[in-house]
């Protein structure tokens, strides 16, 4: 394996997919964020925490510009980060993934990781817009979210090992993973924060959030697959003397 | 007389250096975008970083959109 090429194509794929994620968010997610933050502002005016005056709005538009611009930069950072994990897993599993080309194998792995690390955790702890979430519970919510992703990810890895060792009845491994996640769903606490805002806003936000993250995983699989197919970082030229 | 011949072989193992670099990028990136509440800048700016939360604000919209708990 050519180390620098291996790292380079993983980071390039992750960065590109992360920027695509940021662009999708700018188009689809931002209107929901603006609406949710608008509701937060109204609550602050009503409670006297902030005053509805030109100084407030000048500061508001300044930090909102910073936050919106951050979609692309943080998309690139998150993309390289998640892409690094994906690249490590792809490096180890590429010869056993389904598909007759690296492009198809990369897409297959992206689909597996999208389901186990995003979609299943999302079903238990879905994304929420601003206005939902008590700052006092942030550490608990972060801990629950990370723990659930870890259970799902390591559970998938563990049951894959069982799947490999089973000579027949391989479905047992899938049933085992489903059982583990079912138990995690039932036993792990709910998000403690009560939703007091419109469910139309929350559900609309969650739908576009899924579209954005799905676009990321699809892009990551496509880009890494094409780069791997073209550049083949695992092929090493060696001189042989006869 | 010896002849030199170039052959291409496939090496399946992931280099340890790559593993270390990528694992570090993964941990750092997820922490910064998903969880930082001022910790990184507190190294340089002390407690003021927890009040300013520049990284939190920069990653705010992506944090919500990607499904991380934000505030």
The answer to whether residue A240 is domain-embedded is no
User: B68 pLDDT band (50/70/90 cuts)?
Assistant: very high
The answer to whether residue A187 is domain-embedded is yes
Chain A residues with CB under 8 Å of B26 CB are: 81-82, 84-85, 88
Backbone dihedral angles phi then psi of residue A241, each to the nearest 5 degrees: -100, 135
Is B15–A85 a contact, with Cβ atoms under 8 angstroms apart? no
- DSSP calls for B36-62: -SSHHHHHHHTTHHHHH-HHHHHHHHH
pLDDT at A175: 96
pLDDT digits (tens, 9 = 90+) for A17-72: 999 999 999 999 999 999 999 999 999 999 988 899 999 999 999 889 989 999 99
* pLDDT (mean) for A192-201: 90
* Residues A14 and A120 grouped into a single domain: yes
* Residues A21 and A119 grouped into a single domain: yes
* Residues A72 and A28 grouped into a single domain: yes
The answer to whether residue A239 is domain-embedded is no
* Residues A33 and A137 grouped into a single domain: no
The domain segmentation of chain B, as residue ranges, is 36-71
* Residues A177 and A73 grouped into a single domain: no
Which residue among B8, B18, B66 places its CB closest to the CB of A213?
Answer: B66
ipTM field: 0.90
- Domain extent for A93: 3-124+199-231
pLDDT digits (tens, 9 = 90+) for A119-176: 999 999 999 999 888 889 999 999 999 999 999 999 999 999 999 898 888 899 999 9
Q: Is B32 helix (H, G, I), strand (E, B) or coil?
A: helix
* Residues A93 and A180 grouped into a single domain: no
Backbone dihedral angles phi then psi of residue A98, each to the nearest 5 degrees: -70, 150
pLDDT at B11: 63
* Residues A65 and A140 grouped into a single domain: no
The answer to whether residue A145 is domain-embedded is yes
* Residues A99 and A150 grouped into a single domain: no
* Residues A104 and A205 grouped into a single domain: yes
* Residues A70 and A168 grouped into a single domain: no
* Residues A17 and A90 grouped into a single domain: yes
The answer to whether residue A85 is domain-embedded is yes
Task: Give the number of domains in chain A.
Answer: 2
Q: Is B6 helix (H, G, I), strand (E, B) or coil?
A: strand
Chain B residues with CB under 8 Å of A145 CB are: 67-69
Smallest Cα distance from B51 to chain A, Å: 14
- Reading the block at residue A121, the tokens are 């955790």
- Closest chain A residue to the Cα of B29, Cα to Cα: A81
pLDDT at A133: 83
* Residues A190 and A204 grouped into a single domain: no
């Amino acid at each position: 394996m050519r180390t620098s090429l291996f790292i380079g194509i993983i980071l390039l794929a992750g960065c590109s997919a992360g920027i695509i994620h940021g662009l999708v968010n700018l188009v689809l997610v931002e209107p929901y964020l603006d609406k949710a933050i608008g509701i937060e502002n109204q609550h602050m005016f009503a409670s006297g925490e902030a005053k509805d005056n030109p100084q407030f709005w000048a500061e508001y538009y300044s930090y909102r510009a910073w936050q919106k611009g951050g979609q692309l930069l943080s998309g690139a950072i998150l993309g390289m980060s998640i892409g690094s994990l994906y690249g490590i897993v792809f490096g180890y599993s590429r010869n056993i993934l389904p598909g007759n080309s690296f492009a198809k194998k990369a897409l297959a792995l992206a689909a597996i990781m999208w389901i186990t690390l995003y979609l299943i955790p999302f079903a238990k702890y879905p994304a929420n817009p601003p206005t939902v979430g008590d700052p006092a519970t942030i550490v608990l919510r972060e801990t629950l979210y990370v723990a659930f992703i870890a259970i799902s990810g390591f559970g998938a890895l563990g049951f894959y090992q069982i799947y490999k060792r089973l000579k027949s009845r391989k479905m047992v491994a899938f049933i085992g993973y489903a059982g583990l996640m079912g138990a995690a769903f039932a036993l792990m606490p709910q998000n403690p924060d009560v939703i007091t805002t419109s469910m139309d806003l929350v559900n609309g936000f969650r739908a576009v959030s899924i579209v954005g993250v799905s676009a990321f995983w699809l892009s990551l699989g496509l880009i890494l697959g094409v780069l791997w197919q073209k550049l083949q970082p695992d092929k090493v030229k060696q001189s042989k003397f006869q | 007389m010896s002849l030199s011949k170039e052959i291409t072989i496939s090496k399946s193992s992931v280099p340890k250096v790559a593993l270390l670099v990528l694992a570090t990028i993964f941990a750092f990136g997820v922490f910064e975008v998903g969880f930082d509440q001022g910790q990184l800048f507190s190294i340089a700016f002390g407690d003021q970083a927890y009040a300013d939360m520049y990284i939190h604000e920069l990653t705010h919209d992506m944090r919500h959109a990607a499904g991380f708990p934000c505030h």
